[in-house]
Each structure stands twice: as structure tokens, then as C-alpha cells.
């Protein structure tokens, strides 16, 4: 029962309280770039969730099974980025084979998931936060993806409405998106400190 | 290789004004927002990015003839990761305090879109000299924007710049400036101001 409680708390914490986009600024580029339409944003969120779960689990395993026992921590970043690039390649091949229409609609954004800071950021945070439990690492990775999906979907919903708003010329486009994002983080700050 | 017309002077002006990173290209947002709570970490970050950008651009320019289309991004990120490891170890050895403040944002330079974008659009097409100039000017541009944003935020959040108090005594610090909100809104208004000055409609 205790483990279940810990895992549940970890999940809620990474999805809402320590949301990577709102509190750590990770994944801001796709968050501002792809959030133009709700369906695209949701698809992006799903793809990122898959890659982040895979990458988080694999890098944790590599870190604890190979790098730490043999004292190879210097190569940590190189290994992480290799794993992430490999995972993205896997998703790309899978989508191209089984869901060609979805693959077409993603276009250039799919390979760019490699450079999504949320993914590498989470892998590094798993190490910085000293997560020693495999299950906890897996739950945190999955939760980070869910948190990213929530953030990007909220943003896309707002931006679809924003298109009808009368924004000053110089602020339209990225500036107003950034200001909206700022107000959103303010709202999410209400959750701060609820769980560690 | 079609648009191999970029010259060194064009690269210099591009990095510092016409294509100044963040303000014009909307790239490299994450470190931009995260490390700008104060001027010192922002400058450290800017200089680390400058170092990685120059090294990786030179390296990519060296191997531009060997690149395979589908392995391109992987080659870029591996090169960058190697140099970021160097920068991270250097910071940890010589400025441990600063390394503590920047924390995970130093390794995150690997996925900074600016560096990959420059490798892709400049270094993999141009010669060594142009790539180097391009990297230096882009890195300088990035550092300058980082510095301005950090200066505004530190001034309003604590009334200081580089830990030296500059505002009058009774100044009430704006706590929000230290939080994520301050970063997003200040950068949004800065972008708006640049758009207004240059008359660009997006």
C-alpha cells in the first residue's frame, strides 16, 4: 500500500505541481511552436509521452546498470542523447509503417522531438533527484509526458480562441503567446508546495 | 549546397541584428527563461553557449562532406553533447557555485535549438571561416539578449544588478519577476517592442 501511495504522489506531483513546462521551462519551443491547433497539439503530446516514457526508463536503466558500476559518468550526456535519438527514430519508423496519414501530418516535427528539452531534461532530473527506484522512475517519466500533453493542449485551446481577439499589431504571434503562457504559469503556481 | 552565398560579413550582421537569436528566430527559449533570474548566471550561461556553438560549428564544418542526410541530426547532437560535457566539467571544476545554480540547465545546452539550427543551416553548408564568424556573432547575440532580460528581471525582482544595489532604498521588490511568470511576460513584451520598432507584422 505504501508503494502505491508513493507512486501516486510522484505521479500527481510531476503532472501538476512540478509540471516541466510551467515550473522548469522545459519543452518551451514545441510548446510555443506546435500549439496552433488542438488536434496537432494532442498528437504531439502523445508522441512526446511515448518517447519520454521510453527514454526515461532506458536512460535510468543504462545509468544504474552500466554507467554507475563502471564509473563512466563522464559519458552520461552522450549516452542520454543517443538513447533519445534512437527512441525517436523507432517512433518514426513505426508511424511510417502503420499510420501513414498521421506520419504525413507530423512532417518535420517528428524528428524535432529529439531536441525537445523536456525529454533530456527529465532524464537529467531523474539523476539529479536521485530516483533510486525503477518503478518510480517509470511513473515519473510517464507523468512528465502527461503533464506536457496537458500544458500544450491548454495552450492550443486558448490560442484557437485568441485568433478572434483584437491584439495590437506588434504583439500578435509569439509575443502574445508568451504573455498567455506567463499568465498560465501564474495559475499553475497555485498548486505549488502542495506536494514536494 | 545551393545557397552557398553567405559571406562572413553577412554572417556577422545576421547574428547580431537581422537574425538575432531568440528575438527574431524564437529559438533557444528554455535556457533563456530559466537562467535569467540574475545577471551572473545568465552571463555564465551565455558564454557557455558561445563556447559550445563555436566548437560545434567548426567541427560540423570540418565534417560537412561526410554527413549523411538521415544521420545528420544524430551527428550534430553527438558532437554538441561532447562539447557540452567539456563545458559542464569545466564549470564544475572552476566555478562550483555557479555550476550549482545553473544545475541541469548546462547539460540542456545540448538540445538548445539555436546550436542545432546553426549547424544545420550554416555550418553544414559553409566553410570553416564563415561558420566560425557565424557562431561567434550568434553566440554574442544570444548572450546580449540573455543579459538584457536578466538585467530587467534582477532589477525589478531585487533592485540590484550583479548583486550591487542600484535602486533607491524604499523600493519594493516585485516577487513575481523572480518566478516563471516574470520570465514569460518580460520576454513577450521585449519581443513586442522589437516588432514595434522594426515595424514587422507576424
pLDDT digits (tens, 9 = 90+) for B126-155: 788 888 888 888 888 888 888 888 888 888
Cα-based distances in Å from A165 to A160, A171, B135, B146: 10, 12, 39, 31
Q: Residue A174: which of B28, B30, B191 has the nearest Cβ?
A: B191
Chain B's closest residue to A76, CA to CA, is B85
State the Cα–Cα distance between residues A65 and A81, nearest whole angstrom: 17
Q: Calculate how close chain A gets to B107, using CA atoms only, in Å.
A: 7
What pLDDT, on the 0 to 100 scale, is given for residue B17? 65
- List Cα–Cα distances, A110 to A8, A87, A170, B81, in angstroms: 30, 11, 31, 21
What residues in chain A have per-residue pLDDT under 50?
none
pLDDT at B186 exceeding the cut of 60: yes
Mean predicted confidence (pLDDT) in B5-18:
66
Report the predicted TM-score, pTM, of the whole model to 2 decimal places.
Answer: 0.83
Q: Of B6, B98, B88, nearest to B49 (Cα)?
A: B88
Residue B186 lies in a domain: no
Q: List, as ranges, residues 23-62 from A with C-beta within 8 Å of B.
A: 23-29, 32-33
Is there a contact between B180 and A189 if contact means CB atoms under 8 Å apart? Answer: yes
For residue B17, which phi and psi values (nearest 5 degrees)?
A: -140, -65
Residues of B with CB under 8 A from a CB of A: 26-30, 33-34, 73-74, 77-78, 81-82, 84-85, 88-89, 103-104, 107-108, 110-113, 116, 176, 179-185, 187-189, 191-193, 195-196, 200-202
What's the gap in Å between the CA of B160 and the closest CA on chain A? Answer: 23
At B8 the pLDDT is 67
The pLDDT of residue B83 = 92
Contact between B85 and A27 using a beta-carbon 8 Å cutoff: no
The pLDDT value recorded for residue B22 is 64
Q: Is residue A190 a contact partner of residue B181, using CB atoms and an 8 Å limit? A: no
Which pLDDT score, from 0 to 100, does residue B107 have? Answer: 86
A49 vs B166: which has the higher pLDDT: A49
What integer pLDDT is reported at residue B202 of this predicted model?
45
The verdict on residue B91 lying in a domain is yes
Model pLDDT for residues B62-80, shown as the tens digit of each residue: 888 887 777 777 888 888 9
Local structure of B7: helix, strand or coil: coil
- Give the mean model confidence (pLDDT) for residues B98-110: 84
Pairwise CB contact (< 8 Å): A182 & B81:
no
Task: Look at residue A57 and give its three-state secondary structure.
Answer: helix
pLDDT of residue B159: 74
The total number of structural domains that make up chain B: 1
Q: What pLDDT does residue B3 have?
A: 44
- Give residue B89's domain range: 8-144
Residue B17 forms part of a structural domain: yes
Query: Which of A86, A110, A115, A189 is the best residue to mutate to test the B interface, defined by the most B CB atoms within 10 Å of its own CB?
Result: A115
Give the chain A residue nearest B103 (alpha carbons).
A128
- E strands, B38-197, are 160-161, 164-165
ipTM: 0.78
Confidence grade of residue B52 (pLDDT, cut at 50, 70, 90): very high
Distance from CA of B170 to the nearest CA of A (A): 26
Query: Is position B188 within any domain?
Result: no
The pLDDT of residue B2 is 35
Which of A49-63, B106-120, B156-170 is predicted with the least confidence, judged by mean pLDDT?
Answer: B156-170
CB contact under 8 A, A178 and B188: yes
CB atoms within 10 A of CB A109: 16
Residue B4 burial (10 A CB sphere; 0-12, 13-18, 19+): exposed
Residue B179 lies in a domain: no
Closest CA to A85 of B79, B28, B54, B56: B79
Amino acid at each position: 500500500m505504501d508503494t502505491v501511495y508513493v507512486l501516486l504522489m510522484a505521479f500527481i506531483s510531476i503532472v501538476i505541481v512540478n509540471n516541466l513546462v510551467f515550473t522548469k521551462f522545459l519543452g518551451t519551443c514545441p510548446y510555443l511552436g506546435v500549439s496552433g491547433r488542438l488536434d496537432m497539439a494532442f498528437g504531439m503530446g502523445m508522441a512526446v509521452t511515448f518517447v519520454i516514457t521510453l527514454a526515461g526508463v532506458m536512460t535510468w536503466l543504462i545509468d544504474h546498470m552500466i554507467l554507475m558500476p563502471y564509473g563512466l559518468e563522464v559519458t552520461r550526456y552522450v549516452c542520454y542523447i543517443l538513447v533519445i535519438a534512437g527512441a525517436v527514430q523507432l517512433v518514426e519508423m513505426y508511424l511510417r509503417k502503420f499510420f501513414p496519414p498521421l506520419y504525413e501530418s507530423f512532417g518535420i516535427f517528428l524528428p524535432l522531438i529529439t531536441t525537445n528539452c523536456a525529454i533530456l531534461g527529465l532524464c537529467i532530473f531523474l539523476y539529479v533527484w536521485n530516483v533510486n527506484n525503477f518503478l518510480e522512475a517509470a511513473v515519473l517519466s510517464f507523468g512528465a509526458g502527461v503533464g506536457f500533453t496537458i500544458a500544450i493542449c491548454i495552450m492550443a485551446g486558448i490560442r484557437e480562441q485568441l485568433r478572434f481577439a483584437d491584439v495590437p499589431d506588434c504583439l500578435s504571434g509569439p509575443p502574445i503567446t508568451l504573455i498567455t503562457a506567463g499568465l498560465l504559469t501564474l495559475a499553475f503556481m497555485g498548486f505549488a508546495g502542495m506536494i514536494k | 549546397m545551393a545557397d552557398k552565398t553567405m559571406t562572413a560579413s553577412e554572417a556577422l550582421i545576421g547574428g547580431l541584428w537581422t537574425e538575432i537569436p531568440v528575438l527574431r528566430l524564437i529559438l533557444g527559449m528554455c535556457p533563456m527563461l530559466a537562467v535569467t533570474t540574475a545577471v551572473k548566471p545568465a552571463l555564465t550561461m551565455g558564454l557557455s553557449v558561445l563556447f559550445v556553438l563555436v566548437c560545434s560549428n567548426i567541427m560540423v564544418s570540418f565534417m560537412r562532406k561526410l554527413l549523411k542526410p538521415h544521420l545528420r541530426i544524430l551527428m550534430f547532437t553527438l558532437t554538441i553533447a561532447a562539447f557540452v560535457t567539456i563545458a559542464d566539467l569545466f564549470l564544475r571544476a572552476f566555478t562550483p557555485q555557479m555550476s550549482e545554480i545553473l544545475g541541469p540547465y548546462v547539460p540542456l545546452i545540448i538540445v538548445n535549438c539555436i546550436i542545432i539550427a546553426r549547424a544545420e543551416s550554416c555550418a553544414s553548408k559553409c566553410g570553416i571561416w564563415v561558420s566560425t564568424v557565424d557562431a561567434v556573432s550568434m553566440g554574442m547575440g544570444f548572450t546580449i539578449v540573455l543579459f538584457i532580460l536578466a538585467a530587467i528581471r534582477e532589477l525589478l525582482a531585487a533592485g540590484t544588478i550583479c548583486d550591487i544595489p542600484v535602486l533607491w532604498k524604499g523600493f519594493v521588490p516585485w516577487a513575481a519577476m523572480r518566478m516563471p511568470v516574470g520570465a514569460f511576460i518580460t520576454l513577450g513584451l521585449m519581443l513586442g517592442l522589437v516588432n514595434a520598432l522594426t515595424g514587422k507584422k507576424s
